[in-house]
Structure 1
């Protein structure tokens, strides 16, 4: 393959906190696959986890509307190119109209929702000179639906519960926004993710040189810790860390059926611009 770029090494350093040469070596061995390099580093260096890619920060907002009786709600993400536009009144007015449309139609299809508001979106793009997109929408229906939007409008959560009340559902939604669990219960963890973590823990444990029966106990201990840290019901409640979320729910006679957490820009790669190179190219073309 071609030489490993400095920007790729930089991204791996930022995500792992490891040294430049160690990151470069890992990328070479992984043929430039940064996710594989992270897994390999976790196996070899005891690295516990890595930050999410720094290039996933598209701008925009999330917005929520929940029925007065808390029987259903919608959560949408709408993207802009810059944070400046994400705070613009015209953009926010468009967001309000989109979430209202999604709520009224009980919409679950982002493409259909985008199509319904396309004329208004195009007019807004012409007015502000920046691309706008309706990225995703989720509808949740349950005996009780609660919601929380962080004050920066970049993180939004819908939680569906049976039993309890709207206030409890809102508290759980706030917890999900803050702590970001992966699943509701430990048994909900996808088997492929569990297998990946087990493989990493196995390599780390065997480097200890301890007997096999001790190693197996170490692996199971780490898996149990991973599940506890990643599962909603096993996490300390963010407003009262002495109480687990599961206990909070049990005391209220409630259970979480599902949750959805949107964070603006997650999973979107945004091109990194080398401004010096861009200016040089413009100067060159002007000659």
Structure 2
């Protein structure tokens, strides 16, 4: 059971054994427990410097859309692993498919955010919503704005139940290093 859990999660032998013991041999619960532990560990690793990594390109079939993505990690050893390279390719495909404008919500310029908020507030008022309800509607629509324009908050194209941020955090948990999407460039033919 330990080897099966290890092959499914990539966790260490002792962590798998401990998780199976705590869940009385239930592999699905053990996987969930290891994922939760991994996400907690990824939060701790988030403050470590990530200045190694890769620049990955992706050209969509038809050669009309292309991307370059810089994905950083802490060591060149991890950057050369198949799992890290696959993550970089997935993120590059995500950029080509979903066409984000920013890496994270903090990257959205304040004036763009204020413009978007004023537009959304005007829309809510035109719908006849009271001011206090309009504010909550604007907050919800700003969250939707972030999920459309910020790469880390977008639903992952292969599994819309998770975001790119969760995909990266899962990779941090498995690889044991901080991973950062530094920047990306999207090329669309004619634009």
TM-score by length of 2: 0.61
Deviates more, 1:191-200 or 1:165-174: 191-200
Does the Cα contact within 8 Å between 1:145 and 1:166 map onto a contact in 2? Answer: no
Structure 1: unaligned runs, 5 residues or longer: 1-140, 267-287
Does the Cα contact within 8 Å between 1:155 and 1:262 map onto a contact in 2? Answer: yes
Structure 2: unaligned runs, 5 residues or longer: 1-50, 74-78, 173-178
- Kindly indicate whether structure 1 or structure 2 has the higher relative contact order, using CA contacts under 8 Å at least 6 residues apart: 2
Q: Give deviations 1:204-235, integer Å, cap 9, x for gaps.
A: 11123332211111112111211122111111
In the alignment, which residue of structure 1 is the partner of 2:115?
A: 196
Does the Cα contact within 8 Å between 2:147 and 2:155 map onto a contact in 1? Answer: no
Q: Give deviations 1:115-134, integer Å, cap 9, x for gaps.
A: xxxxxxxxxxxxxxxxxxxx
In the alignment, which residue of structure 2 is the partner of 1:98?
A: none
In the alignment, which residue of structure 1 is the partner of 2:76?
A: none
Instruction: Compute the displacement of 1:143 (Å).
Output: 1.9
Q: Give deviations 1:113-169, integer Å, cap 9, x for gaps.
A: xxxxxxxxxxxxxxxxxxxxxxxxxxxx96211111011111110111112622211
Q: 1:151 aligns to what SS in structure 2?
A: coil
1:1-287 equivalences under 5 Å are: 143-163=53-73, 165-253=84-172, 254-266=179-191
Q: 1:259 aligns to what SS in structure 2?
A: strand
Distance 2:103 2:150 in 1: 5
Displaced runs of 4+ in structure 1, greater than 6 A? none
Instruction: Compute the displacement of 1:264 (Å).
Output: 1.1
**Count of aligned pairs:** 126
TM-score by length of 1: 0.42
Q: Give deviations 1:170-224, integer Å, cap 9, x for gaps.
A: 1100110011011110111122221221121111111233322111111121112
**Superposition RMSD in Å:** 1.7
Cα 1:260–1:173 shift into 2, 3 Å: same
Larger Rg: 1
Does the Cα contact within 8 Å between 1:142 and 1:160 map onto a contact in 2? Answer: no
